[in-house]
Amino acid sequence: MPLVAIIPHEIFLPTSNVIRIFSHYISVRIIFAMLIEGTLLFVSTFLGISLRFLSVPEISLPHIVPTALLFTLLMIVSMSAVGLYHNDHRESLRVTVHKIAIAFGLGVPVMSLLFYLIPDTYVGRGVFALASLIAFLSILLTHILFFHWTSLGVIKRRILLLGGGQDAQTIVDIFEQDKKHAIDIVGIQPLQGQQIVVNSKRILPIDMSINEAVKRYDVHEIIITTREQRGGVLPLRQLLDCKLRGIQVVDLSTFFERELGQIRLETLKASWLIFGDGCRQGLVRETVKRVFDLVVSSTLLLLTLPITITTAFLIAMEGGGSIFYRQERVGLGGRIFEVLKFRSMRSDAERDGKPQWASSNDSRVTPIGRFIRRSRIDEIPQIINVLRGEMSFVGPRPERPFFVQQLAQEIPFYAARHSVKPGITGWAQVRYPYGASLDDAVQKLQYDLYYVKNHTLFLDLLVLIETVQVVLWGKGAR
């Protein structure tokens, strides 16, 4: 194929609806929204000064820029923490306004505190009040416009599914129900000899080749939905032609990893993990993560000291057992350690000696225990486990040996989650509600495998930000 025939299609091919940053996929729309709102936050500081003094003195510019940058970064983190960048179109306008108000309710007081801790950033109460008001109104208007009234920033990824079996139907079901993914399935082309499960209305004409389908429907990406790829099942020549024309060709595991932030067990092959990127361990990575754990844990231990003392006092007043609860868990490399938590259940919660998963509205939970579970206060003592090196701050949740033995026998790749240290919070915890069944364990493992494959300091920071949202809205607590 001549080079001139290749170039035009590559130039005008829309970019993907996600970008991979430090091994983690982030929506282009979310990045676009953050850039726009970050710019508004930065500019609002200068507008606050202009309205207060009717001008911006040139001599004050070197002083204002660091303050504006600090305010911008703090508010972006605050808005992320309350869930404003989850790209959920089902969220009502009232909830969006509520979240923006909470974000500013968290960010503005912290910024005021930083003025006293870092005096060089101080800009005056009048200026900061005006800047905050301008920022609030502009963010409110922009966020409503961006996520509720328009499809600005949405790049629909037009995909062709190659294969008409159950895996193709799974993709159709997932992305028809979840509209927040910018995926447009233009059609399905079954493979020869494959049992067809998908709706016949989605199947492309039998006499249409892949190359013809790509041109006619302006396909951006082809998803290989069959797991068996040997024995001449795939039309390799046509797929190679598409690849050379700039069309992405992606397997099932990569597609689910990118779009859902999980590695689906039913599509996973050991060879994909072995030969693919990710799952990198090393001295540098371990050292960076350990320093991160020590800094975050020490800081949190100091900040939560009043809460810790109050909680210990209330549990002691409630009576019925010790303040702390120790329980064996499985850690890095399958080693057993004792996790430390505030006691939230009656002391006779497992009087028959048989481990049990916690259930919704569990009768074994005490009144104080119910509150500290919902607010995640019961997890605070695990900071000691992190400081000891038994746990990390971010990682898969450690399970009890009884359940690990049971789950490892029934779920493939379950032992892979023990290749990294367990964590107080994790990717599965912020993405999936509390699990109390085999099916829940499977769903959470798919997120844990994503973390094991892609864990970086960047992903740890994202998990921490989303953990704040989980605590604020009480998601998944039991």
Q: At what angle do helices 61-81 and 28-53 cross, to 10 degrees?
A: 140
Q: How far apart are CA 478 and CA 472, in angstroms?
A: 15
Q: How far apart are CA 198 and CA 214, in angstroms?
A: 20
Q: 95 Cβ partners below 8 Å, 6+ apart?
A: none
Helix (H, G, I), strand (E, B) or coil at 438: helix
Q: Find the Cα–Cα–Cα–Cα dihedral 121, 126, 128, 131, rounded to 10°.
A: -140
Class of residue 140 by CB neighbours under 10 A (exposed 0-12, middle 13-18, buried 19+): middle
Fold of 3-17+155-260: Rossmann fold (3.40.50)
CA 120, distance to chain mean position in Å, is 35
Helix (H) or strand (E) holding 249: strand 248-251
Helix (H, G, I), strand (E, B) or coil at 321: coil
pLDDT at 10: 36
pLDDT at 421: 93
Q: How far apart are CA 231 and CA 76, in angstroms?
A: 51
Helix (H, G, I), strand (E, B) or coil at 336: strand
The full set of domain ranges for the chain reads: 3-17+155-260, 19-149, 283-473
pLDDT at 9: 37
Q: Model pTM?
A: 0.80
Q: Which amino acid is at 324?
A: F
Q: Is 308:380 a contact under the CB 8 Å cutoff? A: yes
Q: How far apart are CA 67 and CA 160, in angstroms?
A: 48
Of 29, 69, 30, 28, nearest to 46 by C-alpha is: 69
pLDDT at 134: 93
Q: How far apart are CA 110 and CA 431, in angstroms?
A: 27
Would you give per-residue pLDDT tens digits along the chain (478 residues)? 333 333 333 333 344 567 778 778 887 778 888 898 999 999 998 888 877 776 555 545 667 888 889 999 999 989 888 888 765 555 677 888 888 899 999 888 988 888 888 888 888 888 888 899 999 999 988 877 776 655 554 567 889 999 888 888 888 888 877 666 778 888 898 887 777 888 888 888 888 888 899 999 989 899 998 877 666 678 889 999 988 988 889 988 889 888 888 898 888 888 777 777 767 777 888 899 999 999 999 999 999 999 999 999 988 888 767 888 888 999 999 999 999 999 887 765 555 556 665 655 666 778 888 888 888 888 999 999 999 999 999 999 999 998 899 898 889 889 889 999 999 999 998 888 776 678 888 889 999 999 999 888 889 998 988 888 777 766 655 5
Q: 438 Cβ partners below 8 Å, 6+ apart?
A: 407, 410, 411
Q: Find the Cα–Cα–Cα–Cα dihedral 196, 198, 201, 203, rounded to 10°.
A: -60
Distances (CA, A) of 167 to 170, 204, 227, 353, 372: 5, 17, 9, 42, 41
